Every structure is written in structure tokens, then in C-alpha cells.
Amino acid sequence: MLNKIYSSKYRISSQKIKDTRSIGMTWNVINSILKTNIKYKNKQDLQKLNDLHIKKIEKNLKLDKYQSVLKKIFRKDLDAISKKININALNYRISVQAKGKWNSDKVNKPRKVFYNKKGHMHEDKNNYNFNFPTRPHQDLNNNGFRSSSALISYITLTPSFEDSSLLEIGKFTNKAKLLKFSNKNNYENEIIDAEAKKTTWIVPKSLKPGSILFMDTFTIHRSSSSSLNVNTPRLALNIKIQPNNLDYIFKKFGFHKIKDLKTITKKLAIIVKKINSFNYELAIAYYLLKDFSKSKKTIKKIFAYNVDDITIKKFIAGGFLRKDLRSLNNSDYKKVFKSSLPVEKLSCADAILNSIS
Ligand SMILES: [Fe+2]
């Protein structure tokens, strides 16, 4: 699964869901929450799903009660995934990825996002986020830079109808790197228009009930926003699993018993020749060794463009402090490349140190 992601131009892979009943069981759970009997494969029926329904699904599936129901339904798949990247299966949450219906006139206007007091992002004051397309981005920032290879499993619950806002994946023309992004619309890692326009986008074939789509923090993605109105909602589940050490990748390359940080940098230096994204971990590892110049040189390799100094400082600080771009402030990153940084629990730096046996 990981090999397929790393060798794919779209940075995705897919597999069939192990238990064919899982999707039907999930539909039943959702219908019981909504007290409806919607047939999610049927377009006309799916169009009955309104904003309040979607809001209710989002709210309820967050509850521990439904989290454990879903984990049970997809247990075989989740076990297999966690085995691949060595993580305790209890540590993740399942979230809903939904899109409702909308009018293209309203959505296709330039728009800045804003944040509420709790720090939650909103596309608009009067509408839910699921009534807007997801902006083009790559996820490395999204979980506080915990890992370049956090694995995102995307389980589609509804067919890919043409008048839905579907998950779209962007193609890399070269090595997998971060495309130029900007926060000019207040969305921290939105890929700039010029890059998004140049990119070839596809709706993956595996975006159908019964398949799981896998992606990682370098996968370029967004949801489609056509010039037509979006009339059919869509539903998916998303499970992000963060590795808490690098054992999975070292094993893949046949490296066992890593005894110190220096060995980690040597092994990662071999791995990055095949998988460019691990330059992020390598940069953090050099930093842990206080080799600031190598760290700086290395982190630049994950960017597809000539990145500015402040951005790379933030990316390093994020890897130690487990903070995303929005929460990092000047005092967090001003000392980067000058002195050592504290290692927060569950940060990328922590995962690297956890790999020493
Ligand atoms: Fe994302």
C-alpha cells in the first residue's frame, strides 16, 4: 500500500474493503441517526439529504458511541492499516467528509475564510463548510507536521455522481513535493491558483463504495467545483493515522536495530533518494543533531519552488512543537537554525527519537 502510494504519480493507492457488508452497515447507522431510510446509492434518494441531515451526521459520528461502532464495522481494514505503519489502533478518529448542494454563483466567487473563537475555520458566515468546495492543498501542515507519511484512508459511502463535489487528486509531474501555497485567503496551505490551474486533476476510479482510497500528506487534493450547480450531496469517511516512529519505513528498506540519531540520518539519506518526502524527517533529524546547515539544505528539497526563509523556519518549528502554520507564532520559530528546540510529545521529532532501539 505504501509502496504504491510512493510510486504513484497521483500519490494514491486503493484496495477493496475487506468485509463487503461494511458500507451497508454504515448506511444503516446513518439512517438510524437521521431516522430516515435513504438509499445512498440512488441519486434521487441521495438528493433528499439536506444540510440539517449532514450537520446531524457530522455531530453524531463524532460521539464515542458511534466512533466505536464505526471502528467495529471497519475493524479488519483498520487492523491491516495500523499493522502497516506500526501504530496502536486506538489512537485515531474517524471523521465525516461530506459535501452538500450549492449554487455555483454563490460558491465560485473569491472568498476568504475566517476563524471562530475556538479556532475553527469557516468559509462563510451564513453557510456550512460542506456547502463549499475544499480548497486545493497538501496535508503536511494539517496535523502539526507530525509526519510526512501520515496515512489518510478515505472510505467513500456514496457513488461518484457528476453533479457532486467529489474528491479530486492532482498529478505530480516530477518528484512528490509541496506546490507553492499561500495564505492570502486566510487558508494556511491553499495551493496558489496558477499552480492549481497547471495541475492535472482526476476523480480516482476507486472513489466508489466498497473501495478504500489511501493518500498521504503529500497527495495534492481538493474537491471539485464546477461551473454547474451541485445537486447531489456526497458522503465519505476519513481516517488519518499518524505513525509514532519510523520503524515501518526502516523495515521496508531492511534497516534493523537503529542505535542512534546519526544512524537515522544515514538511513534516511538513503531512503530520500527513492522517496523525496522523507527529506522532511531527515531535516528534522539533522536538526536534532544540531547540524543546522544540513537541516536547512534538506528541508528545501520538499518544496517544488524557491521557498522563503520564514516558511522553512515554520516547517522546522512545527516538526518539534507539533503546531500547524496557523498556531505557530514568531517566538516559536525565530530561533530556528540558531539553537535547539524542545521536542513535544507526538511531534515529528518525537517519532524520530522513538525509532532508536
Ligand atoms: Fe486535506
Ligand 1 centre and the CA of 137: distance in Å?
6
Predicted local confidence at residue 88, as pLDDT: 58
* Predicted pLDDT of residue 90: 55
Domain ranges of the chain: 2-239, 247-353
Query: For residue 2, what pLDDT band results from cuts at 50, 70 and 90?
Result: confident
Contact between residue 89 and residue 232 where contact means Cβ atoms under 8 Å apart: no
**Span from the CA of 143 to the centroid of ligand 1 (angstroms):** 10
pLDDT score of 143: 85
Query: Residue 306 C-alpha to ligand 1 middle, in angstroms?
Result: 23
Cα-Cα end-to-end distance for the chain: 25
Q: At the topology level of CATH, where does 2-239 sit?
A: Jelly Rolls (2.60.120)
Report the separation in Å between the CA atom of 69 and the middle of ligand 1, taken as the mean of its atom positions.
24
Give the distance (Å) from ligand 1 centre to CA of residue 353. 27
Q: What is the pLDDT of residues 30-51, one digit of tens each?
A: 999 999 999 999 999 999 999 9
Beta-strand relationship, 220-223 and 167-170: antiparallel
Q: Distance, CA 66 to ligand 1 centroid (Å)?
A: 23
Write down the pTM of the prediction: 0.96
Ligand 1 centre distance from Cα of residue 188 (Å): 12
d(CA 323, CA 325): 7
Q: What are phi and psi of 169, to 5 degrees?
A: -115, 135
How far, in Å, is the centroid of ligand 1 from the Cα of 139? 5
Residue type, position 33, single letter? I
Per the prediction, the chain carries an average pLDDT of 94
How far, in Å, from the CA of 221 to the mean position of ligand 1?
7
For residues 61 and 27, give the distance between their C-alpha atoms in angstroms, rounded to a whole number: 12
- 259-304 pLDDT, tens digit per residue, is 999 999 999 999 999 999 999 999 999 999 999 999 999 999 999 9
Tens digits of residue pLDDT in 210-266: 999 999 999 999 999 877 899 999 999 999 888 889 998 999 899 988 999 999 999
pLDDT of residue 320: 97
Grid coordinates representing 176 are 512528490
What percent of the chain shows pLDDT beyond 70? 98
Query: How far away, in angstroms, is 356 Cα from ligand 1 center?
Result: 30
Across the chain, which distance is largest between two alpha carbons, in Å?
61
For residue 197, report the distance from its CA to the centre of ligand 1, in Å. Answer: 18
